[in-house]
């Protein structure tokens, strides 16, 4: 059966479905932002530990900040795509429980997503904090003119993103419990399924939640998905939201 027909049939069992999303870089790719891995990924020609670790920052804050300044400049010149807007529409329809995003570009909020519906599991490029953890936090509203960016205490600011080797600030088990208790359908959107612990959530909830995968690579999460859409998030999501909207009206 065509996956869109299968999705329509699935919704017949959920008159008012409760939906959560796990979002990866594939959604932002539709806005022109590079994914981390793959043929044109950010880390294609460079060791990520040099640019996204406490060790790398301590060793060479100028190089790290130069790289992040380029990322910040790219993000500030980027706009949300139809996939982001479709997720905003899910919230407007009253069926969105939560978005767990691995992206740090802030495009969900720019699209109009409510902050209370959003878990930025890896942080955000729109914020910085003191590298020496003096307690100061800052908001980035424009591209830094000079790098490394200094903190008021005399140390450096660092981007408020999760570096390799750092723990996320959200409880994996709390997210799993919430999804098992409060969610009927979990959408996996443009995620490679390789970054733990987020990639383990679908495996933990598959007994209680229907899992829908949206990815150009059909091999991601093979074996645990109820329906898979082989395609780009910015093309698939608007169609799914149209189906959900029609289902709610019927």
Active-site position among 84, 97, 122, 129:
122
190-243 pLDDT per residue, tens: 998 888 889 999 999 999 999 999 999 988 998 999 999 999 999 999 999 999
Contact status, residue 136 vs residue 152, Cβ threshold 8 Å: yes
Q: What does the pLDDT read at residue 135?
A: 80
What is the CATH architecture of 34-77+123-161?
Answer: 2-Layer Sandwich (3.30)
**164 - beta bridge partners?**
53
Contact status, residue 79 vs residue 110, Cβ threshold 8 Å: yes
109-158 pLDDT per residue, tens: 999 999 999 999 999 999 999 998 788 999 998 999 999 999 999 999 99
Whether residue 69 is predicted with pLDDT greater than 60 in this model: the reply is: yes
pLDDT band at 250 (very low <50, low <70, confident <90, very high): confident
- CA 26, 29, 33, 35 torsion-angle sign: positive
pLDDT band at 39 (very low <50, low <70, confident <90, very high): low
First to last CA, the chain: 22
Name which residue leads in pLDDT, 165 or 84. 84
Region of poorest pLDDT, from 43-47, 48-52, 157-161: 43-47
- Note whether 1-33+80-122+170-250 and 34-77+123-161 share their fold: no
pLDDT band at 73 (very low <50, low <70, confident <90, very high): very high
Q: CATH code for 1-33+80-122+170-250? A: 3.40.50.1220
Euclidean distance between CA atoms 25 and 108, whole angstroms: 12
pLDDT band at 42 (very low <50, low <70, confident <90, very high): low
Please say if 122 is a catalytic residue.
Answer: yes
Task: Using alpha carbons, list the distances in angstroms from residue 165 to 28, 53, 58, 127, 161.
Answer: 24, 7, 14, 20, 12
Q: What does the pLDDT read at residue 52?
A: 85
User: By three-state DSSP, how is residue 191 classified?
Assistant: coil
Burial of 109 (0-12, 13-18, 19+ CB in 10 A): middle
Euclidean distance between CA atoms 68 and 72, whole angstroms: 6
Euclidean distance between CA atoms 246 and 214, whole angstroms: 20
Instruction: Return the closest-CA partner of residue 188 out of 36, 69, 27, 47.
Output: 27
Contact status, residue 113 vs residue 88, Cβ threshold 8 Å: yes
* DSSP secondary structure code for residue 165 in this structure: T
Domain range summary for the chain, segments of one domain joined by +: 1-33+80-122+170-250, 34-77+123-161
Inter-helix orientation angle 233-249/82-92, to 10°: 20
Q: What does the pLDDT read at residue 139?
A: 93
Region of poorest pLDDT, from 7-16, 40-49, 76-85, 132-141: 40-49
Region of poorest pLDDT, from 5-9, 43-47, 181-185: 43-47
Q: How much of the chain, in percent, has pLDDT values that exceed 90?
A: 80
pLDDT band at 45 (very low <50, low <70, confident <90, very high): low
Q: What does the pLDDT read at residue 51?
A: 84
Averaged confidence pLDDT in the chain: 92
Query: Is residue 212 left, alpha or beta, with left meaning phi > 0 and alpha meaning psi from -120 to 50?
Result: beta
């Amino acid at each position: 059966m065509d996956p869109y027909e299968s999705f329509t049939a699935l919704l017949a069992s959920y008159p008012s479905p409760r939906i959560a999303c796990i979002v990866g870089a594939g959604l932002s790719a539709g806005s022109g932002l590079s994914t981390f891995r793959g043929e044109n990924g950010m880390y294609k020609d460079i060791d990520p530990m040099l640019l996204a670790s406490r060790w790398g920052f301590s060793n060479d804050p100028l190089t790290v900040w130069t790289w992040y300044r380029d990322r910040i400049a790219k993000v500030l010149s980027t706009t949300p795509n139809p996939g982001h807007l479709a997720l905003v529409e899910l919230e407007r329809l009253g069926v969105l429980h939560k978005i767990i995003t691995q992206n740090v570009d802030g495009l969900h909020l720019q699209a109009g997503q409510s902050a209370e519906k959003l878990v930025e599991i890896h942080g955000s490029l729109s914020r910085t904090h003191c590298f020496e953890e003096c307690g100061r936090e800052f908001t980035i509203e424009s591209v830094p003119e000079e790098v490394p960016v200094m903190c008021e205490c005399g140390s450096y600011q660092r981007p408020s993103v999760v570096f390799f080797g750092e723990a996320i600030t959200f409880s994996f088990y709390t997210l799993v419990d919430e999804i098992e208790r409060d969610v009927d359908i979990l959408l996996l959107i443009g995620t490679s399924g390789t970054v733990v612990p987020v990639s383990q959530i679908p495996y933990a909830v598959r007994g209680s939640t229907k899992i829908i995968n949206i990815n150009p690579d059909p091999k991601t999460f093979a074996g645990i998905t109820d329906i898979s859409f082989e395609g780009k998030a910015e093309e698939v999501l608007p169609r799914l939201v149209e189906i959900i909207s029609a289902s709610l009206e019927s």
